[in-house]
Chains A and B, each alone.
Chain A
Amino acid sequence: MILYLLRRLAVFVLSTAVAGVLVFAFMAVLPGDPAEVALGVNATPEAVAALREQFGTDRPAITQFFDWFGGLVTGDFGTSYVTSSPIGPQIGDRLGVTAVLVLGGMLIALIIAVPAGTFAAVHHRNPLGAVISAFSQVGIAVPAFLAGILLVFVFAVQAQVLPSGGYVPIADDPVEWLRGLLLPWLSLGLVQGAVLTRYVRSAVLDVMREDYLRTARAKGRGRMGALWRHGLRNASIPVITVLGLQLATLLIGAVVVERVFVIPGLGDLLLNGVAGRDLLLVQCVVMVLVVAVLLINLLVDLAYAALDPRLRGAR
């Protein structure tokens, strides 16, 4: 058990380090000198050299990498070359918004998918189950940003009950905060819920064919009782894998949905960084998103260990 945890943790740390090298190397190949870019074409060579020293871009790449990566680990993200403001606090603020967006979307997805998928599996022989499957197939085909636009059309343009975009911090006005997030949550959650429904259905169907469910019924449990007591926990193991992948998808989907609803999250920060050629900012946001994905993978592995006794003895 402890060995398993340590192994997973080591994989996480190593992956993070390699990802850091990749992101850094990728951005470092960029032509152009940030100091020259910042000062414009009329700058004197002395001024450029001074700024270069200030940025630290005059040092060897290896030193720069360790400086940057070391900073990330200690929470110091450095200072933007373009806006001269520290990057860490910006990312911190935005991360919270994106996390709320993603987790809310995931929650909606789960609330839809677990009952709907289970129902579709239990009723896989009758038309109602087939209808749910068909709905989920259609849901998969609608990207989150399209769902967002549709939702805006229905709830903001037609019914005019919810705002079409914008974000109010919860401290300012909790009600407006909630109203502003409802449509973004739904656009992420409905689509992921449709995808997840398919996986829940097939996981529950697989479990329904298991011998231990028959054993449970032979003990005197009813069909649903056996599924509830013995099936759902077993079915949750494959679903959790998908859930991990989906959280990653949602994180990226949030980038687009933030654009649709004008929400100041990480995606918004990233796109602004690209538009403003603020490469250090882009580098940091990309790294934060990648680490978030890796962290989700780690959590999925830990969830396995908590759920499945067969893994606890493993490796």
Chain B
Amino acid sequence: MRGRINAGLVIGGVLVGLVVLLALLSFGWTPRDPVLVDAAAKLHEPGGGYLLGADKFGRDTFSQLMVGARTTLYVGVVAVGIAAIIGTPLGIIAGMTSGRLGWLSELIMRVNDLVFAFPALLLAIMLGAVYGAGTLTAMIAIGVATVPAFARVSRAATMQVMVTDYVLAARAAGRRRTAVALRHVLPNISSVLIVQASVSFAIAILAEAALSFLGFGTRPPIPSWGRMLQESQELLFSTPRLALWPGLAIALAVLGFNLLGDGLRDYLDPKLRRIRAER
């Protein structure tokens, strides 16, 4: 059973598609060199080869936005990947074990709660303090901090799937736990996971932007939306457009992934709707 395509899905899909397109395009082509410092083009007004103008180092804003999209997606994909790869199996195990193995489920969820007390930003700052800030530490921190969301959601979904007739039948037929988990549980909770991934991606973008803003994310000179914002702040009085574009990019990308997540939930999964993706 599939739901209908809804407005949120379309708008979200378009916004996400736009970000992906800009990022892919930036591998082969940008209007100008995004990292080239050019004193002659310092604070160049929009137009004349600089679509959205240039910053105080004469770097083209639009080219920076394009490469920034790449940074954003890169961090998001790796962070959500880490969270999904660790969190999903933990959640499935916690959802499948009860009774004699109940302690395992309890243990997983307790550890989960504890990790939850370490928000992404705090983890990244700690990691940055010890190992030096950078894209890698930011991705790991955001990924680890997102593990509990995946674990909780997949646990809740697994618990629902475990009491369905086909799983009960498979277990009655003596199927091994791992076989049940892989053949029945995982496919049936996959739509919930896709929705969670989309929502987590939005949060990862927010976290990456915040970290770059604080100087704990992607290192210069690689462009990143968060750092563009931070650099623009001192020029807010004279050149506010420098804050406008990266700010808009962040907001639209986050909006896109959130709408996509909500839209996918309505489209993919009328059955498990009661399970909300965790923000």
Contacts and interface: CB of A to CB of B under 8 A. Distances in A.
Partners in one complex: yes
Interface of A: 11, 15, 18-19, 22-23, 26-27, 29-30, 137-138, 140-143, 145-146, 149-150, 152-153, 157, 164, 195, 248-249, 252, 255-256, 259-260, 270-271, 273-274, 277, 279, 282, 286, 289-290, 293-294, 297
A157 B240 contact: yes
Contact of B118 (A256, A282, A290): A290
Contacts of B247: 142, 146, 149-150
A146 B250 contact: yes
Interface stretch (B88-96, B157-165, B205-213): B205-213
B25 interface: no
Q: Is the interface of B mostly helix, strand, loop or mixed?
A: helix
25 contacts: A22-B118, A23-B126, A27-B126, A27-B129, A137-B258, A137-B259, A140-B255, A142-B250, A142-B251, A145-B229, A149-B233, A157-B240, A164-B236, A248-B119, A259-B213, A260-B233, A270-B125, A273-B129, A279-B129, A282-B129, A286-B125, A289-B122, A290-B117, A293-B116, A297-B117
Contact of A141 (B110, B117, B126, B254): B254
Interface string B218-231: 00000000000100
B126 A26 contact: yes
Given A19-B117, A137-B255, A142-B247, 17 more contacts: A19-B114, A26-B126, A27-B129, A27-B130, A138-B255, A140-B255, A143-B210, A145-B210, A146-B229, A164-B236, A252-B119, A252-B121, A252-B122, A255-B214, A271-B214, A282-B125, A293-B119
Nearest to A165: B233
B128 interface: yes
Given A29-B130, A150-B247, A153-B243, A15 B121 contact: no
Contacts, number: 110
Interface residues of B, number: 37
A27 B125 CA distance: 12
A155 to B, nearest CB: 12
A282 B259 contact: no
Given A146-B229, A157-B237, A255 B121 contact: yes
B118 A141 contact: no
Given A248-B119, A252-B121, A149 B243 contact: yes
Nearest to A157: B237
Given A18-B114, A153-B240, A140 B254 contact: yes
Given A141-B251, A271-B125, A274-B128, A297 B119 contact: no
Given A140-B258, A143-B250, A256 B214 contact: yes
Contacts of B110: 11
Contacts of A143: 206, 209-210, 250, 254
Interface in B183-224: 202, 206, 209-210, 213-214
